[in-house]
Chain A
Amino acid sequence: MAGADGDDSLYPIAVLIDELRNEDVQLRLNSIKKLSTIALALGVERTRTELLPFLTDTIYDEDEVLLALAEQLGNFTMLVGGPEYVHCLLPPLESLATVEETVVRDKAVESLRKISHEHSPVDLEVHFEPLVKRLASGDWFTSRTSACGLFSVCYPRVSSTVKAEIRQHFRNLCSDDTPMVRRAAASKLGEFAKVLELEYVKSDIISLFTALASDEQDSVRLLAVEACVSIATLLPQEDLETLVMPTLRQAAEDKSWRVRYMVADKFSELQKAVGPEITKNDLVPAFQNLLKDCEAEVRAAAANKVKEFCENLPEDSRETIIMTHILPCVKELVSDTNQHVKSALASVIMGLSTILGKDNTIEHLLPLFLAQLKDECPEVRLNIISNLDCVNEVIGIRQLSQSLLPAIVELAEDAKWRVRLAIIEYMPLLAGQLGVEFFDEKLNSLCMAWLVDHVYAIREAATCNLTKLVEKFGAEWAQNTIVPKVLGMANDPNYLHRMTTLFCINALSEACGQEITTKHMLPVVLKMSNDQVANVRFNVAKSLQKIGPVLDSNCLQTEVKPVLEKLAADQDIDVKYFAQEAISVLALA
């Protein structure tokens, strides 16, 4: 096939093949990622007979190479000759499915699942299913864990005798000696249940589920909680009480906090899976217990679900349940000893107001909001403030403003700059909801104070905040309230504050429009070109470049150009550079 001139086209492929075993991992990785190019050059026959056997033995390599290989092989069907030959990909993937590195194994299983669909029903029984069995009865638990992920893809497509064998294998793995395998089986239980016939779900899966849910290892039991969701979805309502609920009740009261945490974390899914009746009778008390759990991690997870849980309660009894069962627990959580619990609650509690309506919110929730706004932990206060919009819709924000203001002021002056940064980000939202009057009266001075914060990130965020406020309140408001203050800082003795003036002008010119920019801002900028600090001068040049597009051409020629020319002759190299850049960008040369 290769003549004398075939060398040119073969050379790059030859390099790629040689680099499959280069000492440098990067080069090997590179070659593996171009495996399809190599396979294409070799043709389907040689790919099957030479390349794949080589790759099957490559399991000694670094994880990242193996990971890339496992991924490539999932897309290799056409390169080995199409679905007819797809089974040739099984040996290398089988060996990758037994390595110790979880990510590589998982990727190999993913690719195996992918190519299983490309097997004909006959090939599936002749090639794929035996591989699953080999892995399932392998000596090492790495191969048995990999098998767990493959049952569900072949089960629907094989004969009933093979189906029975697969069920048996899965049963064995659920009671494997090593917790690793039982964990893998538990995590695939739900997925496997979905492809099983309902009669087997009831006969097989339920008993496996019950066994895994009472495993001696916490790490296995907690995975059974996840399976609970899928299994409950599959069963008819009338069977849930006898088949699933005993296990779920037991999990919600498990001795291990990690299992209870899992129940709390999956509570909304569980609630949807078991339906309204069981929710009313069983889940409500269970949820109350989780909210009162002795372990803070569990309470925090449950607190996170308060809103979702309440939202999904059946409409006819929602309000009663919340008022009589949930709200008392929530009230206690507001003064929890653990700040993560309080903060989790603060991030969802405002959402309850839409569910409970105006009167209940004012009577019952408002005191809680107010208490949280005064919490000692800034994160709690921030979470309340960041969700103000939900309350605003129901009762209007005025109800809160009395307490809101001190909370905001305190956060605005918090010693931790990250807290200050977080509250700045909520300013535009607050401004929108509180209205311009309230803002001018109470918050404007805060926004200005941030401009002279000693942390740059805060000054920068404050600048950005001004832009958003102007977008909200309009140019006229800007001219009256903030522009004078910003321009006033141009005479500040601290050069960092003078630079802030320039940064504000950069940010505001567009929002304020041509008139304000030309009349009020430009003169200040031009004046600052005489500043004694070079950093200020080159920022003048940068500002002029930035606001240039807002100005008219006459003004550019008569006022901006002379100043830039002067700066272009500055003794400082940076000033010169930025002045020249501005001249060329604004086309003033």
Chain B
Amino acid sequence: MEGDGGSEIKQWCLSQVKGAIDDDVTEADIISAVEFNHSGELLATGDRGGRIVIFQQEQESKTLAHSRGEYNVYSTFQSHEPEFDYLKSLEIEEKINKIRWLPQKNAAHFLLSTNDKTIKLWKISERDKRPEGYNLKEEDGRYKDPTSVTTLRVPVFQPMDLMVEASPRRVYANAHTYHINSISVNSDNETYLSADDLRINLWHLDFTDRSFNIVDIKPTNMEELTEVITASEFHPLQCNTFVYGSSKGSVRLCDMRAAALCDQHSKLFEEPEDPSARSFFSEIISSVSDVKFSHSGRYMMTRDYLTIKIWDLNMESQPVETYQVHEYLRSKLCSLYENDCIFDKFECCWSHDDSEVMTGSYNNFFRMFGRDGQAGVTLEASWESSSPRCPLRPWRVCAGSRRKEDEIGVDCLDFSRKILHTSWHPQDGIIAMATVNNLYIFQEKLN
């Protein structure tokens, strides 16, 4: 590992690549959401075509002692369809913006999926029996002569091949004027929040006809608008606490116990700006693209364009840790602004034990940071340059023209290949991420 963070950094191996591997990618196949469920047994992806694909982890096989179970397709269904809002003359894309799993309540699994406007609750359940036996029909559907019925027959359930069904259970619509960017399930297991650019609503899972507005930052005069909500999440343990990040780089923590409307935040996490580093791009690159609580609930991680910041909930004035994701892009902001890449919203995630964090970058690179050391490691999601069960080779991005084998110049980075969506197995060393239309799954190397 060439001194790249010390011996604590673990080694990762490519486990699986899902999706077609060719250059001809249709828009609808681009993955827009990746999310493990609470046990890690299931992994859901959503795409721009409104589809959701769920993968299930196979039981560990005895022959491959050093590999954990692989993920195979469990269920595929169309979650959202394109719609047209006739009142506003607006197309509503079917693109899945976020997927969130509910804690498991019975043998079935439930998830919330959302596009820009409408949130849906899906039930994914298994069926392995079906009823057989009619009175007036043969099993093949031919009708019998009614006069031949001399005794009544009650149908009997017989075993059949396992079938996985996804059925829509609730549709939570018409509550958002702007585009929904986040959904998050409360630890009370009965409510969730949904956030758009200017408002956050609180829903009860059982009721689709009402939601409560808990944050509204819409100014009376839209010309005075200076800040929008970019991400929001509930605290994993305290049911009354949630945070939301803004386009100005601050994160507000609200306590729902204090008042019904949480316009007054109880904490404001904001790092004072360095006046010497101020530029035209300062505000754009400080915009919070993702906010995630640690599993313990003690810390909170925010991702902005160039960094990951980790905040202790008890300290608002500055982050306790800051990790540079791709500092080398600071000199390229102008061209990144011109090709709109500067507005990319990268997600970030915590490892199962909160000891590491991960986020994506360009050129199909992703960055892992151990929380004890400062320097992270840059790895690449590529099926061409990695072989199964071989540890991934770390990359180094450098400015100069002379390179070693494991180095790449800033100018050679491919900005069309980016890893925006990432998820970490909640209990294990398995990570999943989306490159354009492929889902990559990596496993920590077991020793």
Chain A contacts of B154 at CB under 8 A? 17, 42, 46, 50-51, 54
Chain B contacts of A53 at CB under 8 A? 156-157
Chain B contacts of A257 at CB under 8 A? 257-260
* Measured CA separation A56–B53 after assembly (Å): 31
The verdict on A296 contacting chain B, using a C-beta distance below 8 Å, is yes
B110, B150, B157, B239: the one within 8 Å of A10 (CB): B150
**A57-B106 in contact given A10-B152, A294-B259 (Cβ < 8 Å):** no
Measured CB to CB, the nearest residue on chain A to B144 is A14
B125, B149, B239, B259: the one within 8 Å of A217 (CB): B239
Chain A contacts of B239 at CB under 8 A? 179, 216-219
Measured CB to CB, the nearest residue on chain A to B206 is A102
The count of chain B contact residues (Cβ–Cβ below 8 Å) is 42
Distance in Å: Cβ of B75 to nearest Cβ of chain A: 15
Q: Tally the A-B contacts, defined by beta carbons under 8 Å.
A: 116
A17, A51, A100: the one within 8 Å of B123 (CB): A100
Chain B contacts of A297 at CB under 8 A? 260
The verdict on B298 contacting chain A, using a C-beta distance below 8 Å, is no
Whether the pair A57, B157 counts as a contact (CB closer than 8 A) is yes
Distance in Å: Cβ of A221 to nearest Cβ of chain B: 10
Whether the pair B105, A100 counts as a contact (CB closer than 8 A) is yes
Chain A contacts of B258 at CB under 8 A? 255, 257, 294-295
* Measured CA separation A53–B189 after assembly (Å): 33
Chain A contacts of B157 at CB under 8 A? 53-54, 57
Chain A contacts of B403 at CB under 8 A? none
Chain B contacts of A256 at CB under 8 A? 240, 256-257
The verdict on B438 contacting chain A, using a C-beta distance below 8 Å, is no
**A18-B103 in contact given A11-B146, A217-B239, A257-B260 (Cβ < 8 Å):** no
Chain A contacts of B148 at CB under 8 A? 7
**A11-B105 in contact given A50-B154, A179-B187, A179-B239 (Cβ < 8 Å):** no
**A218-B135 in contact given A7-B149, A10-B150 (Cβ < 8 Å):** no
The count of chain A contact residues (Cβ–Cβ below 8 Å) is 47
Q: Which of B185-207 contact A (CB under 8 A)?
A: 187-190, 206
Q: Main secondary structure on chain A at its contact with chain B? A: helix
Whether the pair B189, A178 counts as a contact (CB closer than 8 A) is yes
Whether the pair B135, A18 counts as a contact (CB closer than 8 A) is yes
The verdict on A88 contacting chain B, using a C-beta distance below 8 Å, is no
Whether the pair B259, A7 counts as a contact (CB closer than 8 A) is no
* Measured CA separation A42–B153 after assembly (Å): 9
**A54-B156 in contact given A99-B106, A140-B107, A257-B259 (Cβ < 8 Å):** yes
**A141-B146 in contact given A17-B135, A18-B134 (Cβ < 8 Å):** no
Q: Which of B215-244 contact A (CB under 8 A)?
A: 237-240
Whether the pair B106, A140 counts as a contact (CB closer than 8 A) is yes
* Measured CA separation A15–B135 after assembly (Å): 7
Chain A contacts of B152 at CB under 8 A? 10, 13-14, 17, 41-42, 46
Measured CB to CB, the nearest residue on chain A to B110 is A100
Distance in Å: Cβ of B289 to nearest Cβ of chain A: 31
Chain B contacts of A14 at CB under 8 A? 135-136, 146, 149, 152-153
Whether the pair A217, B188 counts as a contact (CB closer than 8 A) is yes
B106, B153, B238: the one within 8 Å of A100 (CB): B106
Whether the pair A15, B136 counts as a contact (CB closer than 8 A) is yes
* Measured CA separation A102–B204 after assembly (Å): 13
The verdict on B129 contacting chain A, using a C-beta distance below 8 Å, is yes
Name B residues whose Cβ lies closer than 8 Å to a Cβ of A.
103-108, 110, 123, 125, 127, 129, 131, 134-137, 146-157, 187-190, 206, 237-240, 256-260
Known: A1-B151, A20-B131. 5 other contacts (CB 8 A): A42-B152, A179-B190, A216-B237, A217-B239, A295-B260
Name A residues whose Cβ lies closer than 8 Å to a Cβ of B.
1-2, 6-7, 10-11, 13-15, 17-18, 20-21, 41-42, 46, 50-51, 53-54, 57, 60, 98-100, 102, 140-143, 178-180, 183, 216-219, 254-258, 294-297
What are 11 sample pairs from A and B whose C-beta atoms fall under 8 A apart? A7-B146, A10-B151, A17-B155, A18-B137, A57-B131, A100-B110, A141-B105, A179-B190, A218-B240, A294-B259, A295-B258
